[in-house]
Amino acid sequence: MPVRDRTRNACWAALLALLLALFTAPQNASAASLTQVTGFGSNPGSLSMYSYVPDNLPTGAPLVVALHGCTQSASDYYSHSGWAKFADAYGFALVLPQTTSANNANSCFNWYQSGDYTRGQGEALSIKQMVDYARSQYGSDPSRVYITGLSAGGAMTSVMLADYPDVFAGGSIDSGIPMGCATDLSSGLTCEYNPVSKTPQQWGDAARSASGGWTGPWPRVAVWQGTGDSTVNPANATESRDQWTNLHGISQTPSSTTTLPGGTTQAVYNGANGAPAVETFTISGMAHGLAVSPGSGADQCGTTGTYYLNYICSSYYTAKFWGLDGTSGGGTGSLPAPAGLKVTATTDTSASLSWTAVSGAASYNIYRGGTKTGSASTPSYTDTGLASGTAYSYTVAAVDASGRAGTVSAAVSATTTGFQPQCFTDNNYQQVAAGRAHQTGGITYANGSNQNMGLYNTFVTHTLKETAAGTFVIADSGCAA
């Protein structure tokens, strides 16, 4: 064959191979990307809107709004936070508002300026307009809109949850500040660096006042905070917890606590229906930033960078708390709550439950302290590996054939038999964070005994002995467990 013919044939073969590759490429390859959106409203706060909408997202999917921190951008938060991974995995639209140095010298959201933190004004209204646009354009479910943010974005999340509890079903405040702490830059700096102590009622009243007369139900709120944060005083997390537990009308004492990866302590505060209304995630030693956990695991996400710190994937646990994963206590299915949940037996290390079967249920999810602990194909379950002499709160949800969990049941409490006293030595701040003590008016008191432990700070240390489940006494002179 002449060289010219061989060359011509080779070129045609290469072209055909390229066309074949194009037409046989996987049809599920994602074309979704972070995209700027214009014309979403009057935008009185002069913010920019960016969105990420997974391919083939159905109408009626949830919506998550994510607010970056100071010196960051929407693109930066999108790339590092891990939220895009879960938008694809769980099926929801993602909106990322962005401010600039023209609005704030450090590109912070203006959470402390009345013109921007008041309902119907400034930046708060701009973010609300982005939600309205997303609901209209992406068909987002108006009952499943959530908001999260870091640092100034976390403080702005507090603002949006208080201003628009009629818009948001849940929120997550990461290294942020409670709503109503500041009214200008000077008081904002005070809130940031020095703990501003108010009673839960005062914090709750600040949010109620901002809401425009809202009477409930209030959003479910997670609070994330590192104990080594020198930019936002860790006491702000406790004040945020006080604000949202007060709004839900529940105790500031956790229903349960759990140890998670990355030195993280999760405290759960159940609402009247037994489902978690507020959760706090306290990360031992973490400095100022958003907790991420790079990797391919289901509970891993994000990449490290400035203010993105390798401890735990906060986005994963927040999404589970909101019920976006379809298996946790948030519920996305239509099946009713199981009735008749009761404790049938307990031992030192187990609790047995039963409930009335739900028509149409393929299985049941069982939640201990608001976190899924198991599943069952019949209306009974035994939870094992428990601590003796300890009270646990349980709820159950029916799961339909498509795997969607319905409404959670009313809660029941099961207390295992026996008791093993334990001793805990730590500063007053950490004793409160761990749920062994509480603070009122800047003074710390041991839970159960109500003994005065002194000032609520990191400089006063005590040993507490748990003499009965949930009852602690000061044992500085010696503690034999």
The yes-or-no verdict on residue 280 having pLDDT over 60 is yes
User: In this structure, is residue 49 part of a structural domain?
Assistant: yes
Strands 351-354 and 276-283, sheet pairing: unpaired
Residues pairing with 260 in the sheet:
264
Is there a catalytic annotation at residue 126? Answer: no
Same domain, yes or no: 289 and 165: yes
- Radius of gyration, alpha carbons of the chain: 25
> How high is the pLDDT of residue 22?
37
> How high is the pLDDT of residue 403?
66
User: In this structure, is residue 10 part of a structural domain?
Assistant: no
User: Which tens digits make up the pLDDT trace of 388-446?
Assistant: 888 888 889 888 776 667 777 888 888 898 877 889 999 999 999 899 999 998 999 99
The yes-or-no verdict on residue 290 having pLDDT over 60 is yes
Domain that holds residue 220: 35-322
- Pick the catalytic residue from 51, 151, 315, 393: 151
> How high is the pLDDT of residue 31?
67
For the entire predicted model, the pTM comes to 0.67
Residue range 452-457: mean pLDDT, rounded: 94
User: Which tens digits make up the pLDDT trace of 239-250?
Assistant: 999 999 999 999
User: In this structure, is residue 111 part of a structural domain?
Assistant: yes
Same domain, yes or no: 407 and 293: no
Which of 156-160, 325-329, 384-388, 408-412 is the least confident region?
325-329
Name the strand (E) or helix (H) holding 343: strand 342-346
String of DSSP letters for 318-359:
HHHHHTTTSSSTT--S-PPPPS--EEEEE-SS-EEEE----T
User: Which tens digits make up the pLDDT trace of 99-121?
Assistant: 999 999 999 999 999 999 999 99
The yes-or-no verdict on residue 220 having pLDDT over 70 is yes
Same domain, yes or no: 300 and 354: no
Same domain, yes or no: 156 and 225: yes
Domain boundary among 288, 322, 356: 322
Total domains in the chain come to: 3
Residue 455 φ then ψ, to 5°: -65, 145
Same domain, yes or no: 107 and 252: yes
Same domain, yes or no: 280 and 362: no
User: In this structure, is residue 239 part of a structural domain?
Assistant: yes
Same domain, yes or no: 408 and 427: no
User: In this structure, is residue 365 part of a structural domain?
Assistant: yes
Same domain, yes or no: 384 and 355: yes
User: In this structure, is residue 22 part of a structural domain?
Assistant: no
Same domain, yes or no: 318 and 267: yes
